[in-house]
Amino acid sequence: VKPFSATAFHNGKEVEVTEADLKGKWSAVVFYPADFTFVCPSELISLDKNIDQFTQRNVDVLAISVDSQFSHAAWRNTPIQQGGIGSVNFTMVADTSHEICRIYGVEHFEANVALRATFIVDQDKVVRAQFVNDLPLGRNIGEILRTIDSLQHFEANGEVCPMNWEKGAKAMNPDAEGVKSWLVEKYPEQQ
């Protein structure tokens, strides 16, 4: 993660956020196009409704758009029934200069907003996974959590997580014997 500094809105007040805040914990850095838009509230409300799932995994959520902290506060203070997002429990970063979305390579130059992107950053500030969607396509919170589970499983056990792996499923050792064993168990009919 490259250096950045920005003002954010969190728990009813303005705070300063830098890339140093990502060290020591996993983070989900979630870019979205703009406040008071259409797909974005569905995603941010879903993030908030699943915040305990992120907390259980020791993952902080940072939502970033090119709007100001004042716009974030107004959107957060607008009830869901009126197109707002309500009192979300994660930090909303103001990237009014577009510096952070440029650092991450997710600025949509024609629309002048950030693409719908998610970066999973580990405790050492290393980007371990990224998803970048075009503006009309909302992300899947379940897939973000599955990706975090997979990365954390690898960190804890040294086993790699094959396609469609879910927490609690069998993973594989990262060697020829490990893949053979997994494939034989997964696809016995193709022996």
Residues taking part in catalysis: 40
Q: What is the CA radius of gyration of the chain?
A: 18
Alpha-carbon distance of 21 to 47, in angstroms, equals: 20
Alpha-carbon distance of 181 to 179, in angstroms, equals: 5
Beta-bridged to residue 129, according to DSSP, are 120
Structure tokens at 170: 């069998």
Alpha-carbon distance of 14 to 179, in angstroms, equals: 49
CA dihedral for 142, 131, 104, 116, sign (positive or negative): negative
The residue whose two tokens read 């993660």 is 1
* Residue 121 burial (CB count, 10 A): 23
Alpha-carbon distance of 120 to 125, in angstroms, equals: 9
Alpha-carbon distance of 150 to 174, in angstroms, equals: 14
